[in-house]
């Protein structure tokens, strides 16, 4: 089995890092940040336009938010060796399937390597449905839905539980942490 795994929201704690950086660099907005209930910046960063949020995240702070020293999700770090050992034992491949902007690909790879998130294959694409995987673990409602409809391998989406994907949790198998794969999904 080929298991596709997203990075941001599954391995890397991007949203909390964005919130923390806004509070640090723009304390005047600290009390205006809403609970993220989507990947649409303007829904939970109402003080900025989409362009302003994009500039802050992807231009001014891309190294901090996507680079080698960005924050891994604690449970992903705890579970990775368990998942990797289980995959090897059962003949499964772990495949990165992550939509990264061009200037974030190399620094994301540095983040993955630094934290020991070593994959059998690496794919950086927004068209996750085009990657030949049997399942895709992702937190993006949009990516889960498109994968469900268009997967080239007729793969199954698996939702990584986050505050911004409550509707997806009702539609797709949902996990709280990567180690859930070893017992709930395939056990």
Contact 4, 137 (CB under 8 A): yes
Query: What average pLDDT score do residues 89-101 get?
Result: 97
37 pLDDT exceeds 90? no
Q: What is the pLDDT of residues 40-77, one digit of tens each?
A: 898 999 999 999 999 999 999 999 999 999 999 999 99
- Please give the Cα distance from 96 to 98 (Å, whole number): 6
Residue 186: what pLDDT?
67
pLDDT for 116-151, tens place per residue? 999 999 999 999 999 999 999 999 999 999 999 999
Domain extent listing, the chain: 2-13+71-185, 14-66
Closest CA to 151 of 185, 127, 121: 127
pLDDT for residue 187 is more than 80: no
Model pLDDT, residue 80: 98
| CA 77/CA 80 separation, integer angstroms | 5
Q: 2-13+71-185 belongs to which homologous superfamily?
A: HAD superfamily/HAD-like (3.40.50.1000)
- pLDDT at residue 171 above 60? yes
Cβ contact 56:22 at 8 Å: yes
- Which alpha helices (DSSP H) does 67-161 contain, by range? 74-90, 102-114, 141-150
Per-residue pLDDT at 167 exceeds 60? yes
E strands present in 117-162: 121-124, 135-138, 156-160
């Amino acid at each position: 089995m080929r298991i596709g795994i997203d990075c941001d929201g599954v391995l890397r704690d991007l949203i909390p890092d964005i919130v923390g950086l806004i509070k640090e660099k723009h304390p005047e907005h600290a009390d205006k940040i809403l609970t993220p209930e989507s990947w649409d910046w303007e829904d939970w960063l109402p003080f900025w336009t989409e362009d302003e949020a994009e500039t802050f995240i992807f231009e001014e702070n891309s190294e901090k938010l996507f680079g080698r020293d960005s924050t891994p999700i604690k449970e992903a770090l705890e579970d990775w060796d368990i998942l990797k050992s289980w995959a090897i034992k059962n003949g499964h491949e772990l495949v990165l399937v992550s939509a990264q902007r061009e200037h974030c690909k190399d620094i994301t790879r540095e983040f993955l390597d630094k934290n020991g998130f070593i994959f059998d294959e690496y794919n950086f694409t927004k068209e996750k449905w085009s990657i030949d995987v049997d399942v895709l673990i992702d937190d993006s409602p949009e990516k889960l839905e498109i994968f469900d409809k268009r997967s080239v391998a007729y793969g199954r989406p698996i939702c990584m539980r986050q505050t911004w994907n409550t509707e997806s949790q009702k539609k797709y198998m949902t996990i709280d942490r990567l180690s859930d794969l070893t017992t709930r999904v395939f056990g």
